[in-house]
Amino acid sequence: MNATLEAKRDTAAAELQLATFYVGDILLGIDIQQVQEINRQLDVTEVPHSPDFVRGVINLRGDVATVVDLRTILGLPSAEVTRESRNLIVHSKGETIGFLVDRISDILALNTNEISPSPTTVEGVDGNLFKGIFKLETELLIILDVDAVLSGETK
C-alpha cells in the first residue's frame, strides 16, 4: 500500500497546472499557483514617468495592482485593448501585478518530464524570460517565468 501512495505522490509532483493565454500569436502559460484572478478591468490609471511597459494601475477591491503590457516586455508592438483583452492578476515577491494579455486560453495540466528547456530565443524573444516549452498538437506552449519578466531582465 505504501508503494501505491508513493506512486501517486510522484505523479502529483510531476504535474504542473498552467493558466494559458495569448500575447500576439504566442501561446504562453503561467503556473496556476501564481494566478490570483483573471479580470476585464481594462480602464487603468496612468502613472506618470513610468517605464513603457507599465500601462498604469487598477483598483482591485481596495488593493492597487500595477498593470504591465506583456507585448511590450516581449518586444512586440504595444497591446491594443480589444473585447478579448484581459488582465491576468499574478503575485510575485509580495506584489500584485496585472499582465495585460490579448486573450485567455485554457487551464492545462502538463507532465513536467515533457517540458523542454527554453532555447535562447523563442519567436524572437529572449529565452531568459521563459522556464521552458511544451509541444502541443498544433503549437508550442511557452512557460513564462514571472519573476524574470518582472525583475528588470526585460528589453
pLDDT range class, residue 109, cuts 50, 70, 90? very high
pLDDT range class, residue 14, cuts 50, 70, 90? confident
Task: Give the whole-angstrom CA distance, residue 99 versus residue 26.
Answer: 14
Region 81-100: mean pLDDT is 91
Region 101-108: mean pLDDT is 94
Higher pLDDT, 82 or 8: 82
CATH architecture of 2-149: Beta Barrel (2.40)
Region 55-65: mean pLDDT is 90
Region 79-98: mean pLDDT is 89
Query: What is the chain's length?
Result: 155
Domain boundaries, the chain: 2-149
- Contacts of 120-127 with CB under 8 Å at 24 or more apart are 122/26, 123/25, 123/26, 124/75, 125/26, 125/74, 125/75, 126/75, 126/153, 126/155
Q: Which residue has the cell 528588470?
A: 152
Per-residue cell: 36: 490570483
Higher pLDDT, 107 or 92: 107
Higher pLDDT, 15 or 121: 15
pLDDT at residue 41, as a whole number = 78
Q: What is the pLDDT of residues 17-48, one digit of tens each?
A: 999 999 999 999 999 999 999 998 778 999 99
pLDDT range class, residue 9, cuts 50, 70, 90? very low
